[in-house]
Amino acid sequence: MVLGLILTLLPIWTRPWLLELAAWVVVGAGVPLVLLLIGLVVQANVVAGAVLMLLFLAYLVYWLPVSHRVVDVEFDAVISAPPASVFALVTDLAAKPRLHPTMLSAVSVDGGPLRSGSRIKARIRPSKLEAESLVTVFDPPRAYAERLLSGAPEVVGSFYFHRWPRAPSCTFARTRCFPFRTRS
């Protein structure tokens, strides 16, 4: 369990598969530890042990759906380039492997230029997994969004660009990644 926490908290860029391994190490060591503690409580008080066991099982069941294991991420950046240049780079499939360290390649399934409704196939490290995404917003040079179709969970990545008021030659970029949720 300590090894998993150390791998997660390394103050350097960590490969995604290493973070996932660290999470499994923490879970693999943490579950038996919690069960041992519940066993000790059961010896002292059966009712308290049963309540703890039910709470622990409810906690585990809550985390089973992939959608519960994803967090929303949002970050902003100021880039020394006009919005059109930033938009062109973000939507350039040949540049995606340079922008995303875990991506090996990205190609348009449709074969044409990107537009709303285009599909993108990407090969992801370390297992060369293929992922497919759908371009849901394509509004040069203001907005671009993709929804991951294959792989779990389905994630939406949105990018918004506009001129930075404090420096007109710069672009303010806001990126937001969050789990895809169907509207009910």
User: Taking the domains of the chain in order of start, what are their residue ranges?
Assistant: 2-64, 73-179
Topology at the third CATH level for domain 73-179: Alpha-D-Glucose-1,6-Bisphosphate; Chain A, domain 4 (3.30.530)
Q: What is the pLDDT of residue 154?
A: 63
Q: Which residues on neighbouring strands pair with residue 141, listed in sequence order?
A: none
The 3-state DSSP class for residue 38 equals: helix
Structure tokens at 38: 């519940």
- Reading the chain (184 residues) residue by residue, the pLDDT tens digits are 666 656 556 555 455 666 667 777 777 888 888 888 898 998 999 999 899 999 988 988 887 776 676 667 788 888 888 999 999 998 999 998 888 877 889 999 998 889 999 999 988 776 667 888 899 999 999 999 988 887 555 667 888 888 888 887 888 888 877 665 543 3
Q: Which of 159, 155, 26, 23 has the alpha carbon at shortest distance from 87?
A: 159
- Distance, in Å, from the CA atom of 178 to the CA atom of 156, rounded to the nearest integer, reads 5
Nearest to 116 by CA among 133, 130, 132: 133
Q: Write down the pTM of the prediction.
A: 0.62
Q: What's the CA gap between 22 and 111, in Å, rounded?
A: 39
